[in-house]
């Protein structure tokens, strides 16, 4: 009985520690995105996936051009 309580307490402590570490990492990522000039973490993520990881203006220009042109690689444009 005492062993079960200690195991649960240890598991709870480990989960709490992992939660605090993940919150700290997320905060650091948010501050980095804001310092680079991105308006949100999602915009920073999408820019890094498209090759503009440190250039918010370049990403926004490319995204705007894609909105005007459309996605030529989508199945709707293929015959």
Map out the domains of the chain as residue ranges.
Answer: 24-69
Rounded to whole angstroms, how far apart are CA atoms 63 and 47? 9
Per-residue model confidence (pLDDT) at position 69: 62
The per-residue pLDDT for range 6-46, each reduced to its tens digit, is 999 999 999 999 999 999 888 887 887 777 777 776 776 77
Please give the model's pTM, rounded to 2 decimal places. Answer: 0.51
**What band does 71 get if pLDDT is binned at 50, 70 and 90?**
low
What string of H, E and C letters represents the secondary structure of the chain? CHHHHHHHHHHHHHHHHHHHHHHHHHHHHHHHHHHHCCCCHHHHHHHHHCCCCCCHHHHHHHHHHHHHHCCCCCHHHCC
């Amino acid at each position: 009985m005492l062993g079960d309580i200690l195991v649960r307490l240890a598991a709870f402590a480990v989960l709490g520690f992992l939660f605090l570490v993940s919150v700290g990492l997320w905060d650091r990522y948010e501050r980095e995105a804001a310092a680079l000039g991105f308006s949100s973490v999602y915009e920073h993520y999408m820019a890094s996936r498209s090759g503009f990881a440190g250039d918010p203006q370049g990403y926004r220009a490319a995204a705007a051009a894609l909105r005007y042109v459309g996605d030529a690689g989508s199945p709707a444009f293929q015959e």
